């Protein structure tokens, strides 16, 4: 069976006798969790290898790997900033017959800032500039590696448990494949999210925004959800939508996909769409893991910032 990533690249499931996985991505995105998960799956893991030593490491793999070995290599900006050189070495090793998959972890700037504030750790690039500038610099440096990645996983809303499940779905030989569904709520007035497999419009449903007691709440509030899903029009829409989503996800799983992005939108992305995504993620489906993100839940009321634009329009 083949899996198709969100980049459209076809990735074969890990059934080869010898497999090497490079785990990389933004600092703070979850690389340590992924490496520990691979170690639990029987991988021989090496972390923070200097880029200059990579060719020698590849040579050792050619000489000493046996039919039972699987290797995971953690690489990030600590190993050196010459990422273009690293990419060249990976491409050369692939051309020489070494099976290499690149697993890239990405996270939004705001989530990374929050994680660094919580852990109080220094960024690998040092402390010579504000943290936001260092994160932006790292993203630019890692872009060549991001471009050749076979699998890209966004960890904004992933708990460690969910991230471990994602790793098992890609690399666990004794596990059934898991379809990871990124369920995203959004507001149409801020733009439709890019690169979604499914987009659903629920703007026709009654809007709690116009009821004073719910106006300043959002769809994560239990009282708001209870009110919303008590409405006959919402109940009818919900049941029909769930039937279609279940059908679509099962078809995606049968195709061999491991990753699907599903977006549900209302007007502002704070009430109806958030409530729907919240309820969707509570459901238990065989071989399907939901990871949720509420894109516009924290937007300042009255300000529109179109996705992909730096301009703001005050309503």
Judged by average pLDDT, the poorest of 3-12, 36-45, 129-138, 211-220 is 3-12
pLDDT > 80? residue 313: no
Kindly state the average pLDDT of the residues 32-43.
87
How does the average pLDDT of the chain come out, rounded? 81
Say what the pLDDT of residue 225 is. 95
pLDDT > 80? residue 205: yes
Say what the pLDDT of residue 93 is. 83
**In the chain, which residue ranges form alpha helices assigned H by DSSP?**
31-40, 54-64, 83-95, 109-119, 131-147, 160-171, 212-215, 222-229, 232-255, 272-281
Query: What confidence tier does 174 reach under pLDDT thresholds 50, 70, 90?
Result: low
Say what the pLDDT of residue 58 is. 79
Strand order across the beta sheet in which 198-201 lies: 198-201, 259-266, 179-187, 288-294
- Biggest CA–CA distance in the chain, Å, is 70
Tell me the per-residue pLDDT of 250-297, one tens digit each, with 9 for 90 and over: 888 887 677 788 999 999 999 999 999 999 988 888 878 888 889 899
Tell me the per-residue pLDDT of 187-201, one tens digit each, with 9 for 90 and over: 999 999 887 889 999
104 and 152 Cβ atoms separated by less than 8 Å = yes
Query: What confidence tier does 175 reach under pLDDT thresholds 50, 70, 90?
Result: low
Residue 152, burial from CB neighbour count under 10 angstroms (0-12, 13-18, 19+): middle
Name, in order, each residue with C-beta under 8 angstroms of 296's C-beta and a sequence gap of 6 or more. 185, 186, 187, 190, 268, 269, 270
Cα–Cα distance for residue pair 183/260, rounded to 1 Å: 9
Tell me the per-residue pLDDT of 101-134, one tens digit each, with 9 for 90 and over: 899 998 888 888 888 888 777 788 877 788 888 8
71 and 100 Cβ atoms separated by less than 8 Å = no
295 and 178 Cβ atoms separated by less than 8 Å = no
Query: What confidence tier does 135 reach under pLDDT thresholds 50, 70, 90?
Result: confident
* Domains detected in the chain: 3-171 (3.40.50.300), 179-314 (no CATH)
Tell me the per-residue pLDDT of 56-93, one tens digit each, with 9 for 90 and over: 887 777 666 554 478 899 888 776 667 888 888 888 88
């Amino acid at each position: 069976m083949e899996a198709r990533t969100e980049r459209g690249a076809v990735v074969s499931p890990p059934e080869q006798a010898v497999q090497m996985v490079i785990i990389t991505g933004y600092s703070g995105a979850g690389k340590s969790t992924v490496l520990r998960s691979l170690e639990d799956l029987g991988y021989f893991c090496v972390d923070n290898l200097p880029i200059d030593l990579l060719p020698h490491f590849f040579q050792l793999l050619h000489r000493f790997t046996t039919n039972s070995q699987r290797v995971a290599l953690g690489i990030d900006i600590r190993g050196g900033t010459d990422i273009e050189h690293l990419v060249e070495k990976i491409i050369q090793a692939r051309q020489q017959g070494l099976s290499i998959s690149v697993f890239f972890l990405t996270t939004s700037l705001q989530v990374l800032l929050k994680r660094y504030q919580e852990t109080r750790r220094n960024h690998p690039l040092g402390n010579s500039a504000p943290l936001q500038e260092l994160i932006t610099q790292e993203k630019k440096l890692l872009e060549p590696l991001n471009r050749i990645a076979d699998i890209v996983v966004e960890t904004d809303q992933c708990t460690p448990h969910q991230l471990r499940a994602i790793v098992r779905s890609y690399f666990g030989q004794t596990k059934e494949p898991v379809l990871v569904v990124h369920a995203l709520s959004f507001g149409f007035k801020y733009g439709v999210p890019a690169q979604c497999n499914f987009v659903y419009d629920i703007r026709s449903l009654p809007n709690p925004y116009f009821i004073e007691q719910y106006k300043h709440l959002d769809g994560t509030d239990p009282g708001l959800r209870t009110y919303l899903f008590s409405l006959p029009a919402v109940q009818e829409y919900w049941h029909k939508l769930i039937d279609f989503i279940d059908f679509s996800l099962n078809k995606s799983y049968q195709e061999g996909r491991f990753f699907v992005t599903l977006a549900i939108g209302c007007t502002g992305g704070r009430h109806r769409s958030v409530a729907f995504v919240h309820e969707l993620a509570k459901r238990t489906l065989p071989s399907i893991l939901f990871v949720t993100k509420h894109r516009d839940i924290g937007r300042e009321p009255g300000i529109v910032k179109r996705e992909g634009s730096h301009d703001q329009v005050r309503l």
